Amino acid sequence: MSTTKKATSALISVFSKEGLEPIIRQLSNLGVTLYSTGGTEKFIRDLGIDVIPVEEVTGYPSILGGRVKTLHPKVFGGILNRREHQGDQSELEAYEIPQIDIVIVDLYPFEKTVASGASEQDIVEKIDIGGISLIRAAAKNFKDVLCVSSVEDYDEFLQLITAQDGSITLEDRKRFAAKAFNVSSHYDTAIFNYFNEEETAFKVSETRGQELRYGENPHQKGYFYGDLEGMFNKLHGKELSYNNLLDVDAAVNLMGEFKNDDPTFAILKHNNACGVATRPTLVQAYKDALAGDPVSAFGGILIANRAIDKDTAEEINSLFCEVVIAPAYSEEALEILRQKKNRILLEQKEVNLPKTQVRTCLNGFLVQEKNEKTDTAEDISYRTDNKPSGEELKDLLFASKICKHTKSNTIVLAKGLQLCASGTGQTSRVDALRQAIEKARSFNFELEGAVMASDAFFPFPDCVEIADKAGIRSVIQPGGSIKDQLSIDYCNEHNMAMVFTGTRHFKH
């Protein structure tokens, strides 16, 4: 027997009527009997198209302020019956239950209601019961019924019934069933997460996804799940890769620390900053960020906290870079930066980023609160006889911001609101410091008077001793070692200033 079925009836119950009219008219043109209730029924009737109220089928009106409309055996029997099952068909005949071949549902907007800051009563009323039940029933019986579960599928459904004259293949019904269960599971996850105050379970659902060219390496598949268009306007260039996205994430998080500061530019490579500078003008900030490591900047990710102007764009254009991110671009800047066809230009929008971080671990997941603590002057405790000067304090807090977003173990060296160098991802803090000093010197930075930031405490005075001999005069670190006094004593003996923040900033 053919698995392609011609639809003769449809139940329609939607919250949003947007895009519904052409579907209603096409179903009517195809001779499909329409069933509906409430506002959707009125909408159809106002179009001058015949519709049978669900109440005429069930013998019951909508009750409890609309909470119960379609929850009835005569509705669900019409959806769930198996067309090839003689017993099911006999029961339909005995109880005068009409067949329903298509179910079109658009659920109450629960997530939008939560996001609007509505009261709990309003939020609870937007938990759809009848709609979600109709979706599950129709999707379960995909062998006989087509389920359209979202406004986003209206166009595809309309094309389908138009092209096939109301006939629907099993393949299409099963594909729409998958969409329906995606909608229902996401909806239930959103409701659970609203009520979940004890965090006894972890549920994440993201319905928007895209396949990437490949994963971290060409032999790995990669996907991104999320709303990139809600985060950026992509103005030019090729598609973002898996590694691009990781770098862009690191860049956005780092620049978030400097959002309200003077013009600041950062260059990142493999999730770590290789150049950062704050200056009176953006073009100078870019030049000084690039000076931090012009070698690593090749193929890097560039990000600014100000609109990119023509002068800055001209400087950037001489560098091969993968991605440029800014809150805005002048028209002259765009014209210049678009000269490289593959260069990705992103205009960053104002968006609230997630408050939690998630990663796979062993056979499960690790979930933690995002590190949103930024060290400020108010957090600092002065632990040495010598105190940092006003300029040194600015440099210390500047370095601390970068340190927070650099792979551990890390040491960051800065001077004059410019990143001189960092030691990143080392197995010892001493190695990180030595790497930073060597790198700074290789790019001709004068470290006399520079400052040092550490993501964690010094268990021994070796780091402050090495820093002292390199010319570094001021240090910022969390403190907390049982041997803190050893480092304090060394600083006092050698006229160094050291401050504690009380906050560790490991990043693994």
3-state SS, 449-467, equals CCEEEECCCCCCCHHHHHH
Q: How far apart are the first and last CA of the chain?
A: 59
The answer to whether 36 touches 56, Cβ cutoff 8 Å, is: no
Which residues belong to the active site?
A: 140, 270
Q: Which two three-digit tokens encode residue 397?
A: 């807090």
Q: Which of 57, 52, 56 is nearest to 36 (CA)?
A: 52
Q: Which of 6, 42, 4, 38 is nearest to 24 (CA)?
A: 42
Three-state DSSP class for residue 169 = coil
Please give the Cα distance from 20 to 27 (Å, whole number). Answer: 11
Three-state DSSP class for residue 395 = helix
Measured in degrees and rounded to the nearest 5, phi and psi for residue 159 equal -60, -40
Please give the Cα distance from 126 to 110 (Å, whole number). Answer: 5
Strands of 107-201, DSSP E: 146-148, 167-168
Measured in degrees and rounded to the nearest 5, phi and psi for residue 498 equal -140, 135
The total of other beta-carbon atoms located within 10 Å of residue 474's CB is: 26
